[in-house]
Structure 1
Amino acid sequence: MIYGIGTDICDVRRIRESLHRHGERFARKVLCDAELAVYRSRAARWPERGLRYLATRFSAKEAFSKAIGLGMRMPMTWRACEIANLRSGQPVIVLHGELKTWFEARGLSAHVTVTDETDYAASFVVVERQPIHQTT
């Protein structure tokens, strides 16, 4: 059963401006440690690729916060929600701390997709509630 749906489109130019204005502090606010390592690696080789990585993660976290109905308020935080990739490249949501506890207590699971093109990054998240099986 669908619990919530969230979508977000992010202007990559706005993320670029935030990076110029706040430096890596902005990336550290949005990305968890594992994501930050990927961001730094990509940005070191090709700054535009690092920027797009940050924009897709920003967008996906916004979409997830909408899908769970919390927005950016506790227990939802930027760093408690990680957008990782399986070996196949498929993006997945990995939760940490209080957000993970909150999410699992409700029997929820999430699906995410991200994309970027020129000036925009977009994400779509579907959150499902696992059916409760009752025995008679």
Structure 2
Amino acid sequence: MIYGVGTDLCDIRRIAAVLARRGDRFAERVLGPNELQVFHHRRARVEARGIAYLATRFSAKEAFSKAIGLGLHHPMTWRDCETLNAPGGQPQIRLHGDLAAWFTARGLSAHVSITDETDYATSFVVVETRA
């Protein structure tokens, strides 16, 4: 049964501007530890790929927070919600800390889809109860 649905559209140019103003502090505030490693790796290879990665993860966190109905209020935090790729490339939500405990206690599971183009990143999250 569907618990919630969330979607988000993010302007990648806006993320690039924030990075230019604040440097890596913005990425460190938004990304979880595993996402941060991927961000640095991709950005070192191609700047635009790193910025697009940050934008897609920002978008996925926004969509997830909408799907669970909490917005960005405890236990939902930026760093406790990560979107990482499975070996085949499928994005998956990985939760940590209080958010993981809250999510598990409710018997929830999440599905995420993310995509980006030159200027925009978008994500769609469906959260369902495990029956």
- TM-score, with structure 2 as normaliser: 0.99
Which SS does the other structure have where 1:60 is aligned?
Answer: helix
Does residue 32 of structure 1 match 2:32?
A: yes
Alignment correspondent of 2:75: 75
User: Are positions 1:10 and 2:10 aligned together?
Assistant: yes
Q: CA deviation at 1:130?
A: 1.5
Aligned to 1:95: 95
* 1:56-76 alpha-carbon deviations (Å, 9 max, x no partner): 000000000000000001000
Secondary structure of 1:73's match? coil
Matched residue, 1:48: 48
State the 1:125 CA deviation: 0.2
Amino acid of the structure 1 residue aligned with 2:87: R
CA positional deviation for 1:128: 0.2
Name segments (4+ residues, structure 1) moved above 3 Å: none
Q: Secondary structure at the match of 2:41?
A: helix
Q: Where do 5+ consecutive residues of structure 2 fail to align?
A: none
CA distance in 2, matches of 1:63, 1:38: 20
Which structure would you say has the larger Rg? 1
One-letter code aligned to 1:127 = V
Structure 1's unaligned 5+ residue stretches are 132-136
Distance in 2 (CA, whole Å) between partners of 1:22 and 1:54 is: 14
Q: Which amino acid aligns with 1:118?
A: T
Q: TM-score, normalised by structure 1?
A: 0.95
Q: Which amino acid aligns with 1:2?
A: I
Q: What is the aligned-residue RMSD (CA, Å)?
A: 0.4
CA distance in 2 between counterparts of 1:102 and 1:66 reads 15
Q: Cα deviation per residue 1:101-127 (whole Å; 9 max; x = unaligned)? A: 000000000000000011000000000
